[in-house]
Amino acid sequence: MEVLSIKIFFKTIHRMAICVNVALHELVLNFFKSLNRTVKSKLRVWYMKNETSEHFHSLTKVFKWLVLPFSLFYACTVFYYFGRNPLNSLFWGILIFLYSNFLPDLPSSYINRKNNSETEPLQWYKKYTLLLLAPIFVWLLFSGIRLKWKTTETFHNFKSLAIYTVFLVVFGFFIFGDCPISMGNIPKILSLPIYGFIGYMTHLKVDKIWGKSIFNLPLVLKLRVDEFNKIVTKTLRQDKQRRK
């Protein structure tokens, strides 16, 4: 009897998790569809569907096999060794993991894909503001405000990942830090960049930025539009061949 109720319990949890996954998948797909419609992008719906599915497939795998065990380990450590409640930081961490899985694509409307030299290069701080405060720039687009900011930075590289990770350390300090910093808050502050790092890396892996090319460090470190376009064109071609 008890075994049966445990089975039912796990089945219910599994079904609930699938339901959340499907809802999130639809939410993200609809978001990118309306974003691309707003900026009159030429991206096809089948490509967006394909992209979202691939990202969700990897996100689910990484969540199951890496984020979930890490979260359990983290929660136990914070609770038993530091005597703190880990729930608030756990909630933030998982939210940041999900967000970071799609972040590199959020500033895509500001990328100068043709790499033409007519547009003035964007100052470095403006460039990375596009990444770090991406939701604000997306909000501007939806509000019908088009900035003339265009950059050849694709944000699909390790340099952007490093900048984002440092940003999350500062963000974590603002949320969980106090002066002077107490020992108990250090794991909480550091948890946010770890979750963000895993999410961003998952995105780069799906977009084939690292893996095979990981040994080509200069390229992976600072991937520019030309190289990025080559990877996108190659992926598109492979997708089309797979569909035939």
Closest approach of Cβ 220 to Zn ion, in Å? Answer: 14
Q: How many residues bind Zn ion (CB under 5 A)?
A: 3
Closest approach of Cβ 206 to Zn ion, in Å? Answer: 7
Could you give the CA distance from residue 159 to residue 226 in angstroms, rounded to a whole number? Answer: 17
Closest approach of Cβ 40 to Zn ion, in Å? Answer: 20
Q: What are phi and psi of 157, to 5 degrees?
A: -160, 170
Q: Which is nearer to Zn ion, 48 or 90 (CB)?
A: 48
Q: Which is nearer to Zn ion, 106 or 168 (CB)?
A: 106
| 51 lies in the binding site for Zn ion (CB under 5 A) | no
Closest approach of Cβ 154 to Zn ion, in Å? Answer: 8
3-state secondary structure the chain: CHHHHHHHHHHHHHHHHHHHHHHHHHHHHHHHHHHHHHCCCCCCHHHHHHHHHHHHHHHHHHHHHHHHHHHHHHHHHHHHCCCCCCHHHHHHHHHHHHHHCCHHHHHHHHECCCCCCCCCCCCHHHHHHHHHCHHHHHHHHHCCCCCCCCECECCCCHHHHHHHHHHHHHHHHHHHCCCCCCHHHHHHHHHHHHHHHHHHHHHHHHCCCCCHHHHCHHHHHCCEHHHHHHHHHHHHHHHHHHHC
Q: Which is nearer to Zn ion, 153 or 207 (CB)?
A: 207
Closest approach of Cβ 104 to Zn ion, in Å? Answer: 5
CA distances from 117 to 101, 112, 193 (A): 31, 10, 35
User: Could you give the string, one character per residue 53-92, with x where binding to Zn ion holds by CB under 5 A and - elsewhere?
Assistant: ----------------------------------------
| 153 lies in the binding site for Zn ion (CB under 5 A) | no
Q: Which is nearer to Zn ion, 92 or 105 (CB)?
A: 105
User: Could you give the string, one character per residue 198-217, with x where binding to Zn ion holds by CB under 5 A and - elsewhere?
Assistant: ---------x----------
Closest approach of Cβ 243 to Zn ion, in Å? Answer: 20
| 105 lies in the binding site for Zn ion (CB under 5 A) | yes
Q: Which is nearer to Zn ion, 190 or 213 (CB)?
A: 213
Q: Which is nearer to Zn ion, 102 or 195 (CB)?
A: 102
Question: Where does this chain bind Zn ion (CB under 5 A)?
Answer: 104-105, 207
